[in-house]
Amino acid sequence: MTRPVLRRLRRGLLVVLLIFGTGVAMLWALQRQLIYFPDSSPVPPAAEVIDGARDVTLHTDDGLELGAWFVPPAGPGDTEMAVLIAPGNGGNRAGRARFAEELSRRGLAVLLMDYRGYGGNPGSPSESGLAADADAAVAALEELGYPPRRTVYFGESLGSGVVAALQARRPPAGVVLRSPFTALADVGAHHYPWLPVRALLRDRFPVVEHLATSDVPVVVIYGDRDSVVPTALSERVADQAPSLHERVVIAGADHNDAVMFGSRVAAVVARLARSVA
């Protein structure tokens, strides 16, 4: 191989390395924008959206005041149990209002939280920030008369990572994980197999790790056509949960289909709440 050819090969390799390095640097800097998709617009007062609901304020340890909605039980059979809803990575609490109503009609109180940066709340989301927000939600429910032993934590998608960690700090009566992943890096590696996601990811949300030593009853719900969190990851969460109470697979359902926010999922949550009440 001649020297000019070698020089061209070296230059080409250098260009490839520079492009790859630039891409990795951008991923490191912008990764949270690829994880969190908040709807930061203010939401209306709770009572304008859900009859009987009221606004509450969550006070985090790092000094933030976050808006949330409390929905009292509206059904004929009050379970004297509450559900803390930790949402996924998009939208805000207004988009989960109908689901909260479904739970309320089944005799459950509901705290519908928004993380920092969502629903008009101050701050920017991160794994540690969402953990502080969840702790503040538990404290608010206690003030409302629902300590963790009378609360079911419901984690939707990214929220499964939030409540998996939360249940280790403040064990509840039960946990429901809807469309959970084993760890966030596993989702990233699935969608971006050509990038070193596991090495670069700052917010990791290790669901299986947090559940490994837990004796809290766990229900896992997932669709078998999930295009966001691969179904195989949700299956592994259920397989490895040491205190699995129930596995619910919704045939034909994708990640954000209406059925995943509807009456069938609410009925599963209510069933767990009554069994652990």
Q: Which residues contact 7 (CB under 8 A, 6 or more apart)?
A: none
Give the residue-averaged pLDDT of 76-92. 94
Is residue 235 within 8 A of residue 191, CB to CB? The reply is no
Q: Residue 199 — very low, low, confident or very high, per pLDDT cuts 50/70/90?
A: confident
For residues 64 and 53, what is the distance between their CA atoms, to the nearest angstrom? Answer: 22
The pLDDT tens digits for 103-144 are: 999 999 999 999 999 999 999 999 999 999 999 999 999 999
Under DSSP, the state recorded for 173 is S
Is residue 151 within 8 A of residue 83, CB to CB? The reply is yes
Tokens at residue 67, please?
A: 């808006």
Burial label for 51, CB within 10 Å (0-12, 13-18, 19+), is: exposed
For residues 140 and 78, what is the distance between their CA atoms, to the nearest angstrom? Answer: 20
Q: Residue 192 — very low, low, confident or very high, per pLDDT cuts 50/70/90?
A: confident
Residue 22: pLDDT over 70: no
Quickly list DSSP for 9-53: HHHHHHHHHHHHHHHHHHHHHHHHHHH-EE--S----HHHHSTT-
For residues 170 and 172, what is the distance between their CA atoms, to the nearest angstrom? Answer: 6
What is the value of pTM for the model shown?
0.89
**Identity (one letter) of the amino acid at 274?**
R
Is residue 186 within 8 A of residue 179, CB to CB? The reply is no
